[in-house]
Structure 1
């Protein structure tokens, strides 16, 4: 198979919230925010990056979909609740178990009329709503990322936002488009990429740009086209879920903190295929290292980076899982799956489990120059993204009978260990997240959160 390799040439929005804390607590929070802006304080350490829990869509910077928490093989439903609107992205979990999820209907926030989107936060033990912040309607397309202090970072229409654990806004930085990829850099900044291809590295404390913005689709030529209009912030978002051509950047980037290199899928205007692109954030700038045209019919998954940083895994809409040399963009192998994967591929040291909204549960083993099917379960259809945990325990959502079930399986053999019904759930789910105490959080596209807890 030939892969074409290209080397590069050279409004602050008011947020309305329902009062949820006593005056003393609110004053205390203001005091903390005031101190956090001063040098020398340890209350808001600017060197702190992602913490424990499930701090980004696919758990970590490499989009591994795995955790070193030992997964429980005996789970029971702790609680479930609707969020008042649909969901498109996974729920993230802060270091203290606080949950964060976005929706496109902000009228669920009491006292907030109008067609806005919203960021919700819930408490892990009880499901009690901690806060609901109305944001732009396109916030539903933006993933969330959480740092060790439970500050959450989320994009919406034309901006990137930071909000603290109490729901108080910290900063808002304008961008072109909607940030649908949010990760942390090795130096504790926030790496964001919009669907229109604008890449920014923002100071986690202030939201200031650390380097000039980088445009994956190239800079517009205003001399040649002086009246060129700026595209609408939400342009092409409807194509992002399927990796279609109207959404140039459809997925969450994978980042290698040790090198500063990060990987993103890009569909350039007029190209026959989408590309996997390697960029590097170093020396106070962003530069492109290589670009490989390989994703037939567009990208199907976010890139996943192997633990040693030498291989990038990515799926395309022709139903293939592709392993790529992270150093130069050359294809190592391409394995037909029989379906288009979705989300990111869960990778536990070379054991690869794709997710999706169709297809079936299966695992592949990366042998270096080729892949082999380790096991497959054609009786378990996929309705979400898998998660692997320590102790050879994995989780996936699958329809069994007339209901969606959270299936616990042995990652070594693929055998079902247990299953639990998601009451009332239909369609598919956006992701599976695992908390520090082994809780499993599943969010349906219809907008229902289900939290399962380990049985003692």
Structure 2
């Protein structure tokens, strides 16, 4: 998966417009399915964590010039992965809430809560590990998503289709039976394969392939070579995702996963629409690897086979989720030292590499062969061509100075990018956090975000073309447009804010007058072009009760 910003598609089809009766939001339906593996995915532009089977984060839409917040929900729940879109325009989002609460929510395009998963209590229920992945949405609307120890299938109405146990962790792995309520061995987001099977790789590097209708295995569970990684070398902040934002039992595994520590697999696999080959990135205690994996379906009732086609060494650490180039000939990955690699999809040979200062950042890949990357902790955004040559390095200082004043206490304002960029027909979409480095001691000056903007960026130059909207929270992940309606949905993780929450009383007096640390909030926020019909205000809090959000407060609290 793509690391949170401070830690660290298909061809367009002919579209026909219809109107969704609920909320009057414009919906578009594809008139023809794409070929190959992509045809199994919901034809919405964002049906899995990174958008599609290739992890490209590319959607064939043309955003408007100005948006407004139209609804939000789950303010008290950290959202760490991408919301995904079903074929009827439903937005699905996972959370990691403690026992007694739900962790999968379905929203209508107007923001009304359609359904949520049953509240969980034990290891048989749909539990908090759901937060570590996005659901995989099929063309018929069915959802596939794991929790800590099971793979689940849901129908679009929320009814459970089936659930199956995930394989045990490697011997000696932490966070298993006897140490926590639910053993920890989740998938890191599922994908479809060439025969329509559902495939995922557990955090302990075991490949699982199942029948989408029954959950039965279609191939033996296969262990990839790496079985363990070194623990994260960064200490977990004591208040990370506290105050109910995340199941307390899950904070340490989540921290390790985001840093690529302890577990060998911390990324979403990608699958080639051209050849059906699976690509995964793993780490052991000394080395990172890009794996090419081939699945051959069984015949006559026999199980299929899973074979390792190649194992290509890259730098240490679990690296990033692998992104397949649009032409299918290269797979891009970054390691934990910030090196970008382009490996051949045929044999894994490294075609080029460059120090991109992108530690574990998953690339966004465009149809022209160019890719786009976040730098370490979101402090840069860069673009490279297919030969690993830098095209540009963005600088958003002008936006920071336009929104925020220079302070005699903390100096000039600065910025970070809050999540990997999404490529659309005419620009990159990215959340930009604006704020200050606030000195708190001899060697401590954390970045403190006070304002948030959703921006459209010129993919040719890296300059901001438009500020589309103010955001009300701290984005730690993906910006999700879709091909069905004009909604853009973003997720809020509150990783940075929760980590420095104990210093709030020391930080706020140092900030310029009228600017404070934002309140702790998670959840999702949906935007529509200004003037669009069907703007709603319904949301749902982490308790599951329906609430409302004042979209006008985005501008008044966090700047115009």
TM-score w.r.t. the length of structure 1 is 0.78
Aligned residues: 383
Q: Hey, what does 1:80 align to over in structure 2?
A: 72
Distance in structure 2 (CA, Å) of the matches to 1:76 and 1:387:
19
1:300-353 CA distances to partner (integer Å, 9 max, x unpaired)?
Answer: 320000112110100111112111111111111112223425344343431211
Q: Hey, what does 2:112 align to over in structure 1?
A: 128
Distance in structure 2 (CA, Å) of the matches to 1:378 and 1:433:
21
Following TM superposition, by how much is the alpha carbon of 1:83 offset from its aligned partner in structure 2, in angstroms? 4.9
Q: 1:153 aligns with which of 144, 150, 164?
A: 144
Following TM superposition, by how much is the alpha carbon of 1:105 offset from its aligned partner in structure 2, in angstroms? 0.9
Distance in structure 2 (CA, Å) of the matches to 1:163 and 1:123:
17
The structure-2 alpha-carbon separation of the partners of 1:347 and 1:241, relative to structure 1 and needing over 3 Å to count, comes to: farther
The structure-2 alpha-carbon separation of the partners of 1:421 and 1:257, relative to structure 1 and needing over 3 Å to count, comes to: closer
Q: Hey, what does 1:15 align to over in structure 2?
A: none
Following TM superposition, by how much is the alpha carbon of 1:412 offset from its aligned partner in structure 2, in angstroms? 2.1
Q: Is the 8 A contact 1:299 1:315 kept in 2?
A: no
Structure with higher strand content: 1
Q: 1:165 aligns with which of 142, 156, 166?
A: 156
Q: Hey, what does 1:417 align to over in structure 2?
A: 465
Q: 1:313 aligns with which of 325, 328, 332?
A: 332
Following TM superposition, by how much is the alpha carbon of 1:62 offset from its aligned partner in structure 2, in angstroms? 0.4
Following TM superposition, by how much is the alpha carbon of 1:103 offset from its aligned partner in structure 2, in angstroms? 0.9
Q: Is the 8 A contact 1:79 1:450 kept in 2?
A: yes
Matches for 1:109-120 after TM superposition, within 5 Å: 114=99, 118-120=103-105
User: Which one is further off, 65-74 or 200-209?
Assistant: 65-74
Q: Hey, what does 1:432 align to over in structure 2?
A: 479
The structure-2 alpha-carbon separation of the partners of 1:398 and 1:48, relative to structure 1 and needing over 3 Å to count, comes to: closer
Distance in structure 1 (CA, Å) of the matches to 2:164 and 2:368:
37
User: Which one is further off, 47-56 or 180-189?
Assistant: 47-56
3-state SS of 1:329 partner: coil
Following TM superposition, by how much is the alpha carbon of 1:362 offset from its aligned partner in structure 2, in angstroms? 2.1
Q: Hey, what does 1:228 align to over in structure 2?
A: none
The structure-2 alpha-carbon separation of the partners of 1:260 and 1:204, relative to structure 1 and needing over 3 Å to count, comes to: same
Following TM superposition, by how much is the alpha carbon of 1:386 offset from its aligned partner in structure 2, in angstroms? 0.9
Matches for 1:332-343 after TM superposition, within 5 Å: 332-343=351-362
Following TM superposition, by how much is the alpha carbon of 1:82 offset from its aligned partner in structure 2, in angstroms? 2.5
3-state SS of 2:87 partner: coil
Distance in structure 2 (CA, Å) of the matches to 1:421 and 1:400:
13
3-state SS of 1:241 partner: helix
Distance in structure 1 (CA, Å) of the matches to 2:60 and 2:272:
18
Q: Is the 8 A contact 1:275 1:291 kept in 2?
A: yes
Q: Hey, what does 2:416 align to over in structure 1?
A: 381
Following TM superposition, by how much is the alpha carbon of 1:143 offset from its aligned partner in structure 2, in angstroms? 2.5
Q: Hey, what does 2:30 align to over in structure 1?
A: none
Following TM superposition, by how much is the alpha carbon of 1:159 offset from its aligned partner in structure 2, in angstroms? 0.8
Q: Hey, what does 2:205 align to over in structure 1?
A: 197
Matches for 1:39-438 after TM superposition, within 5 Å: 49-53=40-44, 54-105=46-97, 114=99, 118-124=103-109, 126-133=110-117, 134=119, 135-176=126-167, 177-217=185-225, 236-244=253-261, 246-268=262-284, 271-283=285-297, 284-296=304-316, 298-355=317-374, 357-367=377-387, 370-377=388-395, 379=397, 381-390=416-425, 392-401=426-435, 402-426=450-474, 428-436=475-483, 437-438=485-486
1:88-130 CA distances to partner (integer Å, 9 max, x unpaired)?
Answer: 2111111221111111115xxxxxxx35551111112x21111
3-state SS of 1:366 partner: coil
Q: Hey, what does 1:28 align to over in structure 2?
A: none
Distance in structure 2 (CA, Å) of the matches to 1:408 and 1:175:
40
Q: Is the 8 A contact 2:288 2:319 kept in 1?
A: no
Moved over 6 A (4+): 232-235
Distance in structure 2 (CA, Å) of the matches to 1:170 and 1:398:
39
Following TM superposition, by how much is the alpha carbon of 1:234 offset from its aligned partner in structure 2, in angstroms? 11
Q: Is the 8 A contact 1:190 1:201 kept in 2?
A: yes
Task: Name the Cα RMSD after superposition.
Answer: 2.5
The structure-2 alpha-carbon separation of the partners of 1:115 and 1:306, relative to structure 1 and needing over 3 Å to count, comes to: same
* Structure 1 residue runs without a partner (length 5+): 1-46, 107-113, 220-231
TM-score w.r.t. the length of structure 2 is 0.64
3-state SS of 2:131 partner: helix
